Amino acid sequence: MPKRTRNTRKLDNVQNARRVFLEATQTTGLTIVQQVMREMGAKGGKIGGKRRLETMTDEQRKRSARKAAKARWAKAKTGQ
């Protein structure tokens, strides 16, 4: 089996300096507040669907299901 060659280019000094600059100036991620808010939002979404299901009447659930099915079929017809 033939050996694979790596497709890595050698960077000249200017390209390397730009790469180092971009790596150094990138943000390091989310702040603590952003992380907490993200976790709260994910938890609320999980709870919200169950609670909505419990509080909806049969007619409301039927209406919602029909609307969702209609949207899915419309998307399938357009080929998306």
Quick: pLDDT tens for 20-53: 888 888 766 778 888 888 888 877 777 777 788 8
Domain hosting residue 59, numbered range: 31-78
pTM over 0.75: no
Q: Does any domain span residue 70?
A: yes
- Residue 71 pLDDT class (50, 70, 90 cuts): very high
Q: Does any domain span residue 63?
A: yes
Q: Does any domain span residue 21?
A: no
Q: Does any domain span residue 67?
A: yes
Q: Does any domain span residue 24?
A: no
**Which residue's structure tokens are 């000094």?**
13
Indicate the range of 7-11, 22-26, 63-67 predicted with least confidence. 7-11
Count up the domains in the chain and report the number. Answer: 1
